[in-house]
Structure 1
Amino acid sequence: MRLGRRRSRAGEDRARFGHTELPDEQEQALRRAVRLEWTTIGFLCMTIVLVFLVMGRSQAMKAAFVEDALSLIPPIAFLVAVRVTRRRPSARHPYGYHRAVGVGHLVAATALFVMGAMLVVDSSMSLLAAEHPPIGLLEIGGWQVWGGWLMIAVMAWSAVPPVLLGRAKMPLSETLHDRVLHADADMNRADWMTAVATIVGVLGIGVGLWWMDAVAALFVSGGILRDGVRNLRTAVSALIDARAATYDGQDTHPLVRRIDERLEELDWVEQARSRVRDQGHVFHVEAFVVPVAGRAPSLRELVEAREACVALDWKVDDMVVIPSEELPERMLPGVREELAGGHDADR
């Protein structure tokens, strides 16, 4: 049976993902995350313009410019996904629009992967061709200034703010269980390496080591490609209904076990196992319960079982409780081996 979460006294004034009302902690985290993403977009736009104006023919600066441009995708995807997921379920979309988070994550990951691969090839070709990128002199206020100093100044300026933004976003991504926000925070925290690598490449040109520019570009490109591969793997896994995982996609979410344990605490339940899939911010849960022999659960007991699980966490909202004579192997692959040998590898 499927029931909606009860509305609070705040009613429509509370932030929601579909029909899922956010607790105070998640509501505040969402508001802060939105502010941080708008701040990130504003900072990146300034950085992109400055890098474009000074990058010249340096491969490292070119890679840094592309990375900054690509860094716009995750915050934009997050803001769009948040707006879409607030829409309520409809007859056409009975599960709501939570998958918008997964779509945004996939778009960002694909862009990172494609552009990272292209930059790796481009940087490699420049290194093999032994290209010597020139950095000329500029006249500023009557003084002759080496253009590389401007490049270094821009990259040094662009190194610190993303790291601070990434550190601020990371705990929010866990609180909101948001993969797009996590990917964005992860990229921001690593931006200082891009800045340092680019500065080293530019200094290499200045001292006559032309190859350091291409090597620095390869380092930056490899980082973009690595981020793309990691996020693409996580995004695709979630979209093809892998078992619900943590916000970073590394482990099975602990709620999967907690739901089963909570159901088995009920006096009329002998065994319980659930299929839990990540819809985006919230989970869709199908819980199969085997009643104690000779005990048929009442409608009220099924409702209470569901409410007990919903009370565990705000993400457990879209849930069905299905009484069954035995745990169905077809719906729960590997459950018999797990029960027989205590094997819990998939968890």
Structure 2
Amino acid sequence: MPAHAGAAIMKLAPKYEYPENLQPTRRKAIWLERITFAYLLSVVAVMYLVMGASQAMKAAWLEDSLSLIPPLSFLIAIRLVRRAPSKTFPFGFHRASTIAYLSSSLALFLMGAYLMYDSSMALLKQEKPTIPTSYIFGHPIWMGWIMIGVLVYSGLPAAILGRMKLPLARKLNDKALYADAAMNAADWQTAAAAIVGIIGIGFGLWWADAAAALFISFSIIKDGFSNLKDSGAQLLDRTPDPLGSDGNELRQALRERLQAIGWIDTADLRLREVGHLVFGEAFVTLTGSRPGDDQIAEAERTLRDADWRIGDVTLAIGHSSHSPQSDAGL
């Protein structure tokens, strides 16, 4: 007899698809992220051509360059999460969205720290940037006006795209998309700060440019740190904190569903975030004899049907002392 004969078959998590009513939202999010990526590529290219020696323009260019990472990460992750679980990845690929969230957050935080250092050195060394005058079709034009026009182009469309993506991120419970949308929505602040720095150079205030870049770096570090903290907590299996809802309310709703089943006496749950979904275990005690496998499978299906964000919850049948009593989370 072969060595593997009679071996138990590994139970895989159910293959997940967004519910039918969220498919249009998913498609719209993908469409907007593709537009965002193409738009940001154009911003990065144009800004590189005109930034000159301005610290504020350099800071804005670097931030826009980093802004390419979140939409690209989202587009890759949203394809991965649809893959069916396998023996190698029995829980599926849902953490791909969390990895995308973490990578963009880390890049943002590190670049913000670099910009803070670079801008502080420029202030300490009293570097005095200049913005030259160029001739376009024979007419002298101060390049500062061109820079300001590019900054307006980098700020306003991004803010509009960000505000369009925020409600989609909440509906899809996708924190990588939410962080990207929030960054886009706040891009006008970066553009405004850089414009102030350029105007300051025009009035001979050499320090205004580096000060504007320093302000931008604080904004980048703040976004990077908050997103890094949240994505790290997800990887550490934090108690669910879904966008636009209360994780404790979700847990209570699932508990009530279980306790409504006739053969379950008491129930409690231990849940964790896995990408945009919630996985976990349900600890139940029985009113009588042990139920059949079909009844257990039906109870697990009942939990998955309670909320589209429930990826997989496994029933653990035992004594009430097994039930987790702590609500502690990060």
So what's the TM-score if we normalise by structure 1?
A: 0.87
Q: Which amino acid aligns with 1:272?
A: A
What does the per-residue CA deviation read over 1:47-85, in whole Å, with 9 as the maximum and x for residues that have no partner?
111111111111000000000000000000001111211
CA distance in structure 2 between the aligned counterparts of 1:264 and 1:289, rounded to whole angstroms = 9
Match of 2:51 in 1: 55
Task: Give how far 1:269 is off.
Answer: 2.6
Match of 2:186 in 1: 190
Alignment of 1:1-347 (within 5 A): 19-247=15-243, 252=247, 254-292=249-287, 294=288, 296-328=290-322, 332=324, 334=326
Cα pair distance change 1:304/1:251, threshold 3 Å:
closer
CA distance in structure 2 between the aligned counterparts of 1:199 and 1:253, rounded to whole angstroms = 45
Task: Give how far 1:129 is off.
Answer: 1.3
**Is the contact between residue 56 and residue 210 of structure 2 (CA under 8 Å) also seen in structure 1?**
yes
**Is the contact between residue 201 and residue 209 of structure 2 (CA under 8 Å) also seen in structure 1?**
yes
So what's the TM-score if we normalise by structure 2?
A: 0.91
Task: Give how far 1:333 is off.
Answer: 5.1
Q: Which amino acid aligns with 1:104?
A: A
Match of 1:12 in 2: none
Match of 2:3 in 1: none
What does the per-residue CA deviation read over 1:103-144, in whole Å, with 9 as the maximum and x for residues that have no partner?
111111110111110001101111111111101111011111
Task: Give how far 1:302 is off.
Answer: 2.4
Q: Which runs of 5+ in 1 are unaligned?
A: 6-18, 335-343
CA distance in structure 2 between the aligned counterparts of 1:251 and 1:236, rounded to whole angstroms = 19
Cα pair distance change 1:251/1:57, threshold 3 Å:
farther
Q: Which amino acid aligns with 1:186?
A: A
Percent of residue pairs bearing the same amino acid type = 43
Q: Which runs of 5+ in 2 are unaligned?
A: 1-9
**Is the contact between residue 13 and residue 92 of structure 2 (CA under 8 Å) also seen in structure 1?**
no
CA distance in structure 2 between the aligned counterparts of 1:297 and 1:2, rounded to whole angstroms = 19
Q: Secondary structure at the residue paired with 1:303?
A: helix
What does the per-residue CA deviation read over 1:163-186, in whole Å, with 9 as the maximum and x for residues that have no partner?
111111111111211111011001
Q: Secondary structure at the residue paired with 2:247?
A: coil
Q: Secondary structure at the residue paired with 1:88?
A: coil
Root-mean-square deviation over aligned CA pairs? 2.1
Aligned residue pair count: 321
**Is the contact between residue 2 and residue 320 of structure 1 (CA under 8 Å) also seen in structure 2?**
no
Runs of 4+ in 1 over 3 A off after TM superposition: 1-5, 250-254, 294-301, 344-347
